[in-house]
A and B are shown apart, each in its own frame.
Chain A
Amino acid sequence: MSNFYLEMMNGLNPESQEAMGQFFQRGNYPGGRINPYAYLGMDRKDNPGDKLYADIIRAQTADYMRKFAPVEDALAASITPTGTTSLEGDLTRTREAVMGAGLNIQGQQGRSMERFGVADNSGYSNQNANISALVGGLNDTRLRDSDRRDALLTGTTTALGQKARAGS
Protein backbone atom coordinates (compact mmCIF):
# COMPACT_ATOMS: atom_id res chain seq x y z
CA MET A 1 0.00 0.00 0.00
CA SER A 2 1.55 3.26 -1.09
CA ASN A 3 1.71 6.53 0.79
CA PHE A 4 -0.02 8.03 -2.20
CA TYR A 5 -3.17 6.14 -1.27
CA LEU A 6 -3.01 7.40 2.30
CA GLU A 7 -2.33 10.98 1.21
CA MET A 8 -5.18 10.83 -1.26
CA MET A 9 -7.54 9.40 1.36
CA ASN A 10 -6.52 12.00 3.91
CA GLY A 11 -7.32 14.72 1.43
CA LEU A 12 -10.95 13.59 1.13
CA ASN A 13 -13.87 14.45 3.37
CA PRO A 14 -15.08 11.63 5.69
CA GLU A 15 -17.99 10.59 3.44
CA SER A 16 -15.73 10.33 0.40
CA GLN A 17 -13.12 8.48 2.42
CA GLU A 18 -15.71 5.91 3.40
CA ALA A 19 -16.96 5.62 -0.17
CA MET A 20 -13.39 5.13 -1.42
CA GLY A 21 -12.79 2.53 1.25
CA GLN A 22 -15.83 0.63 0.04
CA PHE A 23 -14.72 0.99 -3.56
CA PHE A 24 -11.30 -0.49 -2.79
CA GLN A 25 -12.98 -3.29 -0.83
CA ARG A 26 -13.14 -3.43 2.89
CA GLY A 27 -10.78 -5.89 4.40
CA ASN A 28 -8.72 -8.28 2.37
CA TYR A 29 -6.97 -7.43 -0.80
CA PRO A 30 -6.56 -10.19 -3.36
CA GLY A 31 -3.53 -12.39 -2.70
CA GLY A 32 -4.00 -12.62 1.05
CA ARG A 33 -3.07 -9.00 1.70
CA ILE A 34 -5.01 -6.62 3.91
CA ASN A 35 -5.95 -3.08 3.04
CA PRO A 36 -4.73 -1.10 6.08
CA TYR A 37 -6.73 1.94 5.01
CA ALA A 38 -10.02 0.20 4.28
CA TYR A 39 -11.76 1.83 7.24
CA LEU A 40 -10.09 5.21 7.10
CA GLY A 41 -12.69 7.92 7.54
CA MET A 42 -15.26 5.63 9.10
CA ASP A 43 -17.10 7.00 12.13
CA ARG A 44 -15.12 5.96 15.21
CA LYS A 45 -18.37 4.89 16.83
CA ASP A 46 -18.54 2.18 14.15
CA ASN A 47 -15.26 0.79 15.51
CA PRO A 48 -13.06 0.87 12.41
CA GLY A 49 -10.04 -0.36 14.39
CA ASP A 50 -11.93 -3.44 15.54
CA LYS A 51 -13.09 -4.10 12.01
CA LEU A 52 -9.53 -3.92 10.69
CA TYR A 53 -8.32 -6.19 13.50
CA ALA A 54 -11.04 -8.64 12.53
CA ASP A 55 -9.79 -8.54 8.93
CA ILE A 56 -6.26 -9.32 10.13
CA ILE A 57 -7.49 -12.26 12.20
CA ARG A 58 -9.49 -13.59 9.26
CA ALA A 59 -6.46 -13.28 6.96
CA GLN A 60 -4.19 -15.01 9.48
CA THR A 61 -6.67 -17.80 9.98
CA ALA A 62 -7.15 -18.27 6.24
CA ASP A 63 -3.37 -18.35 5.77
CA TYR A 64 -3.03 -20.90 8.56
CA MET A 65 -5.81 -23.09 7.15
CA ARG A 66 -4.39 -22.92 3.63
CA LYS A 67 -0.73 -23.54 4.46
CA PHE A 68 -0.36 -25.27 7.78
CA ALA A 69 -3.53 -27.19 8.58
CA PRO A 70 -2.92 -29.73 5.76
CA VAL A 71 0.59 -30.44 7.12
CA GLU A 72 -0.82 -30.89 10.64
CA ASP A 73 -3.45 -33.27 9.26
CA ALA A 74 -0.81 -35.27 7.38
CA LEU A 75 1.42 -35.48 10.45
CA ALA A 76 -1.41 -36.60 12.70
CA ALA A 77 -2.59 -39.15 10.12
CA SER A 78 0.90 -40.67 9.93
CA ILE A 79 0.72 -41.92 13.54
CA THR A 80 -0.39 -45.54 13.93
CA PRO A 81 -0.94 -47.59 17.13
CA THR A 82 2.57 -49.04 16.90
CA GLY A 83 4.58 -46.54 14.88
CA THR A 84 4.10 -44.44 11.80
CA THR A 85 2.84 -45.05 8.29
CA SER A 86 6.45 -44.79 7.08
CA LEU A 87 7.37 -48.12 8.68
CA GLU A 88 6.45 -50.24 5.68
CA GLY A 89 8.53 -48.10 3.32
CA ASP A 90 11.49 -48.11 5.69
CA LEU A 91 11.31 -51.90 6.09
CA THR A 92 11.23 -52.37 2.33
CA ARG A 93 14.22 -50.07 1.88
CA THR A 94 16.14 -51.87 4.64
CA ARG A 95 15.41 -55.24 3.02
CA GLU A 96 16.52 -53.99 -0.40
CA ALA A 97 19.63 -52.29 0.99
CA VAL A 98 20.87 -55.29 2.99
CA MET A 99 20.07 -57.93 0.37
CA GLY A 100 21.37 -55.71 -2.43
CA ALA A 101 24.62 -55.14 -0.56
CA GLY A 102 24.86 -58.90 0.03
CA LEU A 103 24.54 -59.67 -3.69
CA ASN A 104 26.94 -56.88 -4.56
CA ILE A 105 29.57 -58.17 -2.15
CA GLN A 106 29.08 -61.76 -3.23
CA GLY A 107 29.89 -60.67 -6.79
CA GLN A 108 32.93 -58.71 -5.63
CA GLN A 109 34.18 -61.68 -3.60
CA GLY A 110 33.72 -64.05 -6.55
CA ARG A 111 35.63 -61.78 -8.91
CA SER A 112 38.39 -61.32 -6.34
CA MET A 113 38.81 -65.06 -5.90
CA GLU A 114 38.74 -65.61 -9.66
CA ARG A 115 41.69 -63.24 -9.98
CA PHE A 116 43.61 -65.59 -7.70
CA GLY A 117 42.44 -68.56 -9.72
CA VAL A 118 40.57 -70.11 -6.80
CA ALA A 119 36.94 -71.04 -6.27
CA ASP A 120 34.85 -68.79 -4.07
CA ASN A 121 33.53 -70.91 -1.22
CA SER A 122 32.30 -68.04 0.90
CA GLY A 123 28.72 -68.04 -0.38
CA TYR A 124 27.18 -69.98 2.49
CA SER A 125 28.85 -67.99 5.27
CA ASN A 126 28.08 -64.70 3.52
CA GLN A 127 24.45 -65.73 3.20
CA ASN A 128 24.29 -66.33 6.94
CA ALA A 129 25.93 -62.98 7.58
CA ASN A 130 23.39 -61.34 5.28
CA ILE A 131 20.43 -62.88 7.05
CA SER A 132 21.87 -61.86 10.39
CA ALA A 133 22.39 -58.28 9.14
CA LEU A 134 18.88 -58.26 7.67
CA VAL A 135 17.26 -59.32 10.94
CA GLY A 136 19.26 -56.74 12.85
CA GLY A 137 18.40 -54.08 10.28
CA LEU A 138 14.67 -54.85 10.34
CA ASN A 139 14.61 -54.79 14.15
CA ASP A 140 16.46 -51.49 14.18
CA THR A 141 14.03 -50.08 11.61
CA ARG A 142 11.03 -51.03 13.78
CA LEU A 143 12.64 -49.58 16.90
CA ARG A 144 13.45 -46.32 15.18
CA ASP A 145 9.92 -46.06 13.82
CA SER A 146 8.55 -46.60 17.31
CA ASP A 147 10.90 -43.88 18.61
CA ARG A 148 9.66 -41.60 15.85
CA ARG A 149 6.07 -42.19 16.91
CA ASP A 150 6.95 -41.35 20.52
CA ALA A 151 8.71 -38.19 19.38
CA LEU A 152 5.64 -37.16 17.40
CA LEU A 153 3.27 -37.91 20.26
CA THR A 154 5.31 -36.16 22.92
CA GLY A 155 6.72 -33.44 20.72
CA THR A 156 4.96 -31.71 17.91
CA THR A 157 1.45 -33.03 18.40
CA THR A 158 1.50 -32.57 22.18
CA ALA A 159 2.74 -29.02 21.86
CA LEU A 160 -0.01 -28.47 19.31
CA GLY A 161 -2.66 -29.82 21.68
CA GLN A 162 -1.36 -27.77 24.59
CA LYS A 163 -1.45 -24.61 22.53
CA ALA A 164 -4.95 -25.37 21.30
CA ARG A 165 -6.12 -25.95 24.87
CA ALA A 166 -4.40 -22.79 26.11
CA GLY A 167 -5.97 -20.78 23.34
CA SER A 168 -9.49 -22.09 23.78
Chain B
Amino acid sequence: MCGGGDNKGPAEAESRLALAQQSAIYYNRFQDVFGKFEDMAISDATSQFDTQNYESAMGSASNAAQGVYEQGQIDMNRAAYNRGFDPSSGAVQNESAALMAAKSRGMGLGASSAGIANTDRGFQMMGNVVNMGQGLANESMQGQIDVAQTGVDRVSRQAQQDFMRSSSLQNVAGTATGVAAGYGLQQRTV
Protein backbone atom coordinates (compact mmCIF):
# COMPACT_ATOMS: atom_id res chain seq x y z
CA MET B 1 0.00 0.00 0.00
CA CYS B 2 1.37 3.37 -0.85
CA GLY B 3 0.95 6.56 1.12
CA GLY B 4 2.43 5.22 4.36
CA GLY B 5 1.88 7.04 7.64
CA ASP B 6 -0.73 6.23 10.24
CA ASN B 7 -2.44 2.89 9.60
CA LYS B 8 -5.06 3.26 12.35
CA GLY B 9 -7.69 4.60 9.97
CA PRO B 10 -9.86 7.65 10.32
CA ALA B 11 -10.56 9.15 13.71
CA GLU B 12 -13.85 8.28 15.31
CA ALA B 13 -16.33 11.10 15.69
CA GLU B 14 -16.07 12.67 19.14
CA SER B 15 -19.81 12.40 19.58
CA ARG B 16 -19.58 8.62 19.38
CA LEU B 17 -17.68 8.40 22.65
CA ALA B 18 -20.06 10.90 24.20
CA LEU B 19 -23.04 8.78 23.12
CA ALA B 20 -21.40 5.63 24.43
CA GLN B 21 -20.72 7.36 27.75
CA GLN B 22 -24.34 8.45 27.90
CA SER B 23 -25.43 4.86 27.26
CA ALA B 24 -23.07 3.60 29.95
CA ILE B 25 -24.44 6.11 32.47
CA TYR B 26 -28.02 5.10 31.58
CA TYR B 27 -27.08 1.45 31.94
CA ASN B 28 -25.53 2.04 35.37
CA ARG B 29 -28.57 4.02 36.47
CA PHE B 30 -30.86 1.26 35.25
CA GLN B 31 -28.90 -1.29 37.26
CA ASP B 32 -28.97 0.92 40.35
CA VAL B 33 -32.66 1.83 40.19
CA PHE B 34 -34.41 -1.08 38.45
CA GLY B 35 -31.95 -3.96 38.74
CA LYS B 36 -33.24 -4.89 42.18
CA PHE B 37 -36.82 -4.85 40.92
CA GLU B 38 -35.85 -7.26 38.16
CA ASP B 39 -34.31 -9.54 40.78
CA MET B 40 -37.49 -9.30 42.85
CA ALA B 41 -39.68 -10.16 39.86
CA ILE B 42 -37.53 -13.19 39.05
CA SER B 43 -37.56 -14.34 42.67
CA ASP B 44 -41.35 -13.91 42.90
CA ALA B 45 -41.89 -15.83 39.66
CA THR B 46 -39.81 -18.80 40.76
CA SER B 47 -41.26 -18.91 44.30
CA GLN B 48 -44.82 -18.79 42.97
CA PHE B 49 -44.66 -22.58 42.70
CA ASP B 50 -43.80 -22.99 46.40
CA THR B 51 -46.13 -25.17 48.47
CA GLN B 52 -47.26 -22.39 50.78
CA ASN B 53 -48.58 -20.36 47.85
CA TYR B 54 -50.73 -23.32 46.77
CA GLU B 55 -51.93 -23.94 50.32
CA SER B 56 -52.85 -20.32 50.82
CA ALA B 57 -54.74 -20.01 47.51
CA MET B 58 -56.54 -23.34 47.84
CA GLY B 59 -57.40 -22.81 51.51
CA SER B 60 -58.93 -19.41 50.78
CA ALA B 61 -60.99 -20.79 47.90
CA SER B 62 -62.23 -23.71 49.98
CA ASN B 63 -63.23 -21.41 52.85
CA ALA B 64 -65.02 -19.05 50.48
CA ALA B 65 -67.00 -21.94 48.94
CA GLN B 66 -67.87 -23.27 52.39
CA GLY B 67 -69.20 -19.86 53.43
CA VAL B 68 -71.43 -19.64 50.38
CA TYR B 69 -73.01 -23.07 50.97
CA GLU B 70 -73.33 -22.64 54.73
CA GLN B 71 -75.86 -19.85 54.32
CA GLY B 72 -77.93 -22.18 52.10
CA GLN B 73 -77.84 -24.88 54.78
CA ILE B 74 -78.97 -22.44 57.48
CA ASP B 75 -81.84 -21.27 55.27
CA MET B 76 -82.87 -24.84 54.53
CA ASN B 77 -82.83 -25.91 58.18
CA ARG B 78 -84.82 -22.84 59.18
CA ALA B 79 -87.42 -23.53 56.49
CA ALA B 80 -87.67 -27.16 57.60
CA TYR B 81 -88.25 -26.16 61.23
CA ASN B 82 -90.76 -23.49 60.26
CA ARG B 83 -92.76 -25.97 58.22
CA GLY B 84 -92.60 -28.56 60.95
CA PHE B 85 -90.71 -31.12 58.90
CA ASP B 86 -89.33 -34.13 60.71
CA PRO B 87 -85.50 -34.01 60.38
CA SER B 88 -85.48 -37.76 59.90
CA SER B 89 -87.89 -37.50 57.00
CA GLY B 90 -86.68 -38.48 53.56
CA ALA B 91 -87.42 -34.99 52.21
CA VAL B 92 -85.16 -33.24 54.72
CA GLN B 93 -82.41 -35.85 54.50
CA ASN B 94 -82.37 -35.84 50.72
CA GLU B 95 -82.34 -32.06 50.57
CA SER B 96 -79.56 -31.90 53.14
CA ALA B 97 -77.53 -34.61 51.41
CA ALA B 98 -77.88 -32.87 48.05
CA LEU B 99 -76.78 -29.58 49.56
CA MET B 100 -73.84 -31.26 51.28
CA ALA B 101 -72.78 -32.94 48.03
CA ALA B 102 -72.95 -29.60 46.26
CA LYS B 103 -70.94 -28.01 49.04
CA SER B 104 -68.34 -30.75 48.80
CA ARG B 105 -68.11 -30.28 45.04
CA GLY B 106 -67.90 -26.51 45.43
CA MET B 107 -65.15 -26.71 48.03
CA GLY B 108 -63.15 -29.40 46.24
CA LEU B 109 -63.33 -27.98 42.76
CA GLY B 110 -62.96 -24.41 44.03
CA ALA B 111 -59.73 -25.36 45.81
CA SER B 112 -58.53 -27.33 42.79
CA SER B 113 -59.22 -24.39 40.50
CA ALA B 114 -57.36 -22.04 42.82
CA GLY B 115 -54.36 -24.41 42.75
CA ILE B 116 -54.39 -24.52 38.95
CA ALA B 117 -54.75 -20.73 38.85
CA ASN B 118 -51.67 -20.49 41.07
CA THR B 119 -49.73 -22.61 38.57
CA ASP B 120 -51.03 -20.44 35.72
CA ARG B 121 -49.95 -17.34 37.58
CA GLY B 122 -46.48 -18.79 38.09
CA PHE B 123 -46.14 -19.45 34.37
CA GLN B 124 -47.48 -16.00 33.56
CA MET B 125 -44.92 -14.41 35.88
CA MET B 126 -42.15 -16.45 34.29
CA GLY B 127 -43.40 -15.32 30.88
CA ASN B 128 -43.25 -11.71 32.02
CA VAL B 129 -39.68 -12.22 33.21
CA VAL B 130 -38.77 -13.74 29.85
CA ASN B 131 -40.30 -10.72 28.11
CA MET B 132 -38.28 -8.42 30.34
CA GLY B 133 -35.14 -10.33 29.42
CA GLN B 134 -36.01 -10.25 25.75
CA GLY B 135 -36.19 -6.47 25.92
CA LEU B 136 -32.67 -6.53 27.26
CA ALA B 137 -31.57 -9.05 24.64
CA ASN B 138 -33.08 -6.90 21.91
CA GLU B 139 -31.15 -3.90 23.14
CA SER B 140 -28.03 -6.00 23.16
CA MET B 141 -28.70 -7.29 19.65
CA GLN B 142 -29.42 -3.76 18.47
CA GLY B 143 -26.13 -2.71 19.97
CA GLN B 144 -24.34 -5.49 18.14
CA ILE B 145 -25.96 -4.40 14.90
CA ASP B 146 -24.84 -0.83 15.58
CA VAL B 147 -21.31 -2.00 16.19
CA ALA B 148 -21.35 -4.14 13.06
CA GLN B 149 -22.61 -1.15 11.08
CA THR B 150 -19.87 0.99 12.58
CA GLY B 151 -17.38 -1.63 11.45
CA VAL B 152 -18.83 -1.45 7.94
CA ASP B 153 -18.63 2.34 8.02
CA ARG B 154 -15.01 2.14 9.02
CA VAL B 155 -14.20 -0.37 6.31
CA SER B 156 -15.92 1.89 3.80
CA ARG B 157 -13.93 4.88 4.93
CA GLN B 158 -10.75 2.85 4.88
CA ALA B 159 -11.55 1.62 1.39
CA GLN B 160 -12.22 5.18 0.29
CA GLN B 161 -8.83 6.26 1.59
CA ASP B 162 -7.11 3.29 -0.01
CA PHE B 163 -8.75 3.96 -3.33
CA MET B 164 -7.82 7.61 -3.18
CA ARG B 165 -4.21 6.81 -2.32
CA SER B 166 -3.75 4.25 -5.01
CA SER B 167 -3.04 5.90 -8.32
CA SER B 168 -2.99 2.56 -10.12
CA LEU B 169 -6.48 1.74 -8.87
CA GLN B 170 -7.62 5.22 -9.85
CA ASN B 171 -6.42 4.59 -13.36
CA VAL B 172 -8.14 1.22 -13.52
CA ALA B 173 -11.39 2.24 -11.90
CA GLY B 174 -11.72 5.76 -13.25
CA THR B 175 -13.11 7.96 -10.53
CA ALA B 176 -11.86 6.65 -7.26
CA THR B 177 -14.37 8.43 -5.12
CA GLY B 178 -17.20 7.06 -7.21
CA VAL B 179 -15.97 3.51 -6.73
CA ALA B 180 -15.48 4.05 -3.03
CA ALA B 181 -18.91 5.58 -2.62
CA GLY B 182 -20.40 2.65 -4.53
CA TYR B 183 -18.57 0.21 -2.31
CA GLY B 184 -19.81 2.00 0.76
CA LEU B 185 -23.38 2.06 -0.43
CA GLN B 186 -23.31 -1.62 -1.22
CA GLN B 187 -22.01 -2.40 2.23
CA ARG B 188 -24.67 -0.30 3.89
CA THR B 189 -27.49 -2.07 2.17
CA VAL B 190 -26.34 -5.52 3.23
Question: Nearest-CB distance from A42 to chain B (Å)?
Answer: 8
Q: Which residue on A lies nearest to B90, using beta carbons?
A: A121
Q: Write the B129-151 contact mask toward A (1 if CB under 8 angstroms, else 0).
A: 11111101111110111110010
Given the complex of chains A and B, what is the CA–CA distance between A125 and B96 in angstroms? 12
With A98-B108, A148-B123, A156-B127: A47-B137 Cβ-Cβ less than 8 Å: no
Contact A97 B138 (CB under 8 A): no
Chain B: interface residue total (CB-CB under 8 A) = 75
Which of B119, B120, B134 contacts A89 (CB under 8 A)? B119
A97 and B55 CA atoms in complex are apart in Å by: 10
Cα–Cα distance between A113 and B145 once the two chains are bound (Å): 76
Complex-state Cα separation, A52 to B145, whole angstroms: 15
Report B-chain residues with C-beta under 8 Å of the C-beta of A39: 17
Residues of B with C-beta under 8 A to A121? 93
Q: A49-B12, A64-B140 are in contact. Are A97 and B27 (CB under 8 A)?
A: no
SS class, residues of chain B in contact with chain A: helix
Which residues of the partner chain B approach A130 to less than 8 Å between Cβ atoms? 101, 104-105, 108
Q: State whether A167 touches B141 (Cβ < 8 A).
A: yes
Residue A74 is within 8 A (CB to CB) of chain B in the complex:
yes
Number of interface residues of A (CB under 8 A): 83
Q: Is the CB of B24 within 8 A of A34?
A: yes
A84 lies within 8 A of B133 (CB): no
Is A25 in the interface zone, CB < 8 Å from B? Answer: no
Question: In the docked arrangement, what's the CA distance between A126 and B108, Å?
Answer: 13
Are B138's CB and A57's CB within 8 A? no
- In the complex, the answer to whether B28 meets A53 with C-beta atoms within 8 Å is no
- Taking a contact as CB atoms under 8 Å apart, the answer to whether A118 and B87 are in contact is yes
A60/B107 in contact, CB under 8 A = no
Asked whether A19 is an interface residue with its Cβ less than 8 Å from the other chain, the reply is: no
Interface 0/1 of A13-39, CB less than 8 Å to B: 000000000000000000111111101
Q: Return chain A residues, CB-CB under 8 Å to B31.
A: 31-33, 63
Q: In the assembled complex, how far is the CB of residue A48 from the closest CB belonging to chain B, in whole angstroms? A: 5
Q: Give per-residue flags for B10-22: 1 if the beta carbon is below 8 A from chain A beta carbons, else 0.
A: 1111101111111
Chain B positions 45-78 with a Cβ under 8 Å from a chain A Cβ: 45-46, 49, 54, 58, 62
Let me know if B115 and A105 touch, CB within 8 A.
Answer: no
Q: Chain A CB within 10 Å — which of B25, B100, B131 has the most?
A: B100
Partner of B104, one of A63, A104, A116, A145: A104
A68 near B100 (CB under 8 angstroms)?
no
A residues whose Cβ falls under 8 Å from a Cβ of B: 1, 31-37, 39-40, 43-50, 52-57, 59-61, 63-64, 67-69, 71-72, 74-75, 78, 84, 86, 89-90, 93-94, 97-102, 104-106, 108-109, 112-113, 116-118, 121-122, 125-126, 129-130, 132-134, 136-137, 140-141, 144-145, 148, 151-152, 155-156, 159-160, 163, 167
A-B contact pairs, 21 of them (CB 8 A): A34-B28, A35-B24, A36-B20, A40-B17, A44-B13, A47-B154, A49-B20, A50-B12, A56-B27, A56-B143, A57-B147, A60-B143, A68-B134, A68-B136, A71-B129, A71-B133, A72-B130, A75-B126, A105-B104, A109-B97, A144-B116
* Top 8 closest pairs, chain A to chain B, by CB: A68-B133, A49-B16, A98-B108, A101-B108, A122-B97, A116-B87, A129-B101, A52-B20
